[in-house]
Chain A
């Protein structure tokens, strides 16, 4: 396996507070890595650093052999796409317009309209995300799950090798959570995408991830396969909460024990 993205001793500090301390991470080609951890563990910060959106306070990031600093913003956007969790409440665009904007790193301001290739990629991305029938709909009229698929379609239009998602299943009902998981698995298996996703949903992580990185208070506790990480002892250590494994195996299903 080749490491696509390497983070070496990457950290982020703000106002003397350490949000993320010296993380080492190698993202390999075509793998899916999930990042889990309690609120404030630094998941989003790590994702933003890996996406090149936040320059780390220390440490180095490399794409294959080249440091991030040597890659232009647009070039990086052709390699890494990012689906943020925090988005404006009202985006006055249709699904198709949103996905077309995913072509931004390829568009020239001096050409009046996007080219045929851009529209072809938009169509393909809509189809992959199962959003063809929604193309003319305004984003405000979509349900949460449909909107998430629209944003994933827009990320696909970037034709990047790596897809980074922050909480892709947050605020979605169970059926839409399944849809997003199925979509990501399909993208990984059929399109060979490399996926990095932060999530609070351990069963979602178990389903899609090859490895799970556990963060706690800005430090990496473990980076292991779902079978290794999703054990009651480990989870108690990460989350300070009791978990039961209700279905063991390669992709365990866990349950948080709530006290009455």
Chain B
């Protein structure tokens, strides 16, 4: 019962975030301005609304990916980037920047395409490991993912060492992540990945619930562990790869939002998955509003704000409610 109430509240907050955050910013707009004033209309329709929609989609995707990986690895520290997908994406982006192939193809920058390829390469490596002997034990798989992540980070440092100041600055800026977009290309790109990912994970919800009771018990109930692992890893990897290619890495949302929601609504993935979609989305949209406004007209990288707001809030939750999540 409580879970459903929280879900409804999250839905209301989510809708409110989509409707209200595009109106707020360095210049506060009203609905009538948006309809009648050309400049206000452009700001609203071409800049702020797509940005809000991307934030909502990205936050939801990150929270769901974090939730699924925490359940799969039975590890509260797992998050969307644990397996090195973001590092792979960053390596792709950094290489593209260093090689100066900065142009436009289709409607995405080469950097985005390169980072998507990097993320896919790491995802492929993880899936291959999961299908091989490593797949028998999730903790080995987790360690392998961390090793891949660290290797990518080392390569990134190497490329940065070779790069000049301007390029290094652009690389570092990319790795801070961000939601600054013009138009709807990124939103339309990410939407199908998120929708398919959510559907697949909802189909797997009983399997994920059973994983909470341990792998042995889950297997004895008829769960095909290998297929389930591949399903969860493949789905989250695809979602995160598609996401990180357009936003860069945005930390914290995928780690903490699932924990907060588990505390509020329990551990049934049928409720948790939509709750993460709504909660993660609303949280990132609100953080992005903060990032756009606190130092206006300058912008903070949104990842800085997600951790600054989320960290103390989560600590407060931990201190207030000492029962284990």
Interface residues of A (CB under 8 A from B): 51, 53, 72-78, 80-82, 84, 86-88, 90-93, 97-98, 101-102, 104-105, 107, 109-110, 112, 140, 151, 158
Residues of B within 8 A of A101 (CB): 206, 209-210, 213, 221
Min distance, Cβ B228 to any Cβ of chain A, angstroms: 11
List 7 additional contacts besides A87-B216, A110-B203; criterion CB under 8 Å: A53-B220, A81-B220, A84-B216, A87-B217, A101-B221, A105-B221, A140-B324
Q: Any chain A CB within 8 A of the CB of B307?
A: no
Instruction: Report the Cα distance A215→B39, complex, angstroms.
Output: 83
The chain B residue sitting closest to A166, CB to CB, is B216
A104 touches B204 (CB 8 A): no
Q: Is the CB of A109 within 8 A of B203?
A: yes
B224 at the interface (CB under 8 A from A): yes
In the bound complex, CA of A151 to CA of B214 (Å): 12
B268 beta carbon closer than 8 Å to chain A: yes
List residues of chain B with CB within 8 A of the CB of A92.
212, 262, 266-267, 324-325
Complex Cα gap A91–B203 (Å): 22
Chain B nearest CB from A87 CB (Å) reads 5
Write out the residue numbers on chain A whose beta carbons fall within 8 Å of the beta carbon of B222: 72-78, 104-105
**Chain B's nearest CB lies how many Å from the CB of A112?**
8
Task: Given A88-B74, A101-B213, A109-B204, decide whether A93 and B221 contact each other with a Cβ distance below 8 A.
Answer: no
Q: Does B150 contact A (CB under 8 A)?
A: no
Which range holds the interface residue count of chain B? 20 to 34
A contact residues around B268 at 8 Å (CB): 97
| Given A73-B223, A93-B267, A82:B217 Cβ within 8 A | yes
Residue of A nearest to B266 (CB): A92
Minimum CB–CB distance for A226 against chain B, Å: 27
Q: Kindly list chain A residues whose C-beta atoms are within 8 Å of the C-beta of B213.
A: 87-88, 91, 93, 98, 101
Q: For A109, what are the chain B residues with a Cβ–Cβ distance below 8 Å?
A: 202-206
Interfacial chain A residues near B210, Cβ < 8 Å: 101, 104
Q: Which of B190-245 contact A (CB under 8 A)?
A: 202-207, 209-210, 212-214, 216-217, 219-224
* Chain B min CB distance to A104 (Å): 4
Ordered nearest first, which 9 A-B pairs have the shortest CB separation?
A77-B222, A74-B222, A82-B220, A104-B221, A105-B222, A109-B203, A73-B222, A84-B216, A88-B214
8 A Cβ contacts from B81-137 to A: none
In the complex, chain A residues whose CB is within 8 Å of the CB of B203:
109-110
**Which of B214, B223, B270, B325 is in CB contact (< 8 Å) with A87?**
B214
Question: Contact between A104 and B206 (Cβ–Cβ < 8 Å)?
Answer: yes
Report A-chain residues with C-beta under 8 Å of the C-beta of B205.
109
Residues of B within 8 A of A (CB): 74, 202-207, 209-210, 212-214, 216-217, 219-224, 262, 266-268, 270, 324-325
Minimum CB–CB distance from A145 to chain B (whole Å) comes to 18
Residues of A within 8 A of B206 (CB): 101, 104, 107, 109
Q: Is the CB of A90 within 8 A of B324?
A: yes
Which residues on the B side are within 8 Å of A82 (C-beta)? 216-217, 220
Q: How far is the CA of A253 from the CA of B224 in the complex (A)?
A: 42
Q: How distant is B55 from chain A, measured CB to nearest CB, in Å? A: 29
Residue of A nearest to B202 (CB): A109
Interface core residue of A82, A92, A97, A104 (most chain B CB under 10 Å): A104
Contact of B217 among A74, A84, A107, A112 (CB under 8 A): A84
Contact between chains at B220 and A51 (CB < 8 Å): yes
Most buried by A among B212, B224, B325: B212
In the complex, residue of chain A having the shortest beta-carbon distance to the beta carbon of B205? A109
Residue of B74, B209, B213, B268 contacting most chain A CB atoms (<10 Å): B213
| Complex Cα–Cα for A107 and B268 (A) | 15
Bound: A53/B212 CA distance, A: 18
**Which residues on the B side are within 8 Å of A78 (C-beta)?**
222
Task: Give the docked Cα–Cα distance between A89 and B115 (Å).
Answer: 40
CB of B311, distance to nearest CB on chain A (Å):
23
C-alpha spacing A48/B324, complex, angstroms: 31
What is the bound-complex CA distance between A84 and B214, given in angstroms?
10
| Most chain B CB within a 10 A radius of its CB, from A86, A88, A98, A105 | A88
Q: Show 14 A/B contacts (Cβ-Cβ < 8 Å), sorted by A.
A: A53-B219, A73-B219, A75-B222, A78-B222, A80-B220, A84-B214, A87-B217, A88-B212, A91-B213, A91-B214, A92-B324, A93-B213, A104-B222, A109-B204
Chain B residue at smallest Cβ distance from A80:
B220
A105 to B220, CA, bound (A): 10
In the assembled complex, which residues on chain A have CB atoms less than 8 Å from the CB atom of B204? 109
CA distance A75 to B221 in the complex (A): 9
Q: Establish whether residues A84 and B220, one from each chain, have CB atoms under 8 Å apart when the complex forms.
A: yes
User: Which residues of chain B have C-beta atoms less than 8 A from A102's C-beta?
Assistant: 221
CA distance A102 to B218 in the complex (A): 9
Kindly report which residue of chain B lies nearest to residue A82, judged by CB atoms.
B220
- CA separation between A137 and B245, bound complex, in Å? 45
Roughly how many angstroms separate A2 CA and B206 CA in the complex, as a whole number?
35
Instruction: Kindly list chain A residues whose C-beta atoms are within 8 Å of the C-beta of B270.
Output: 112
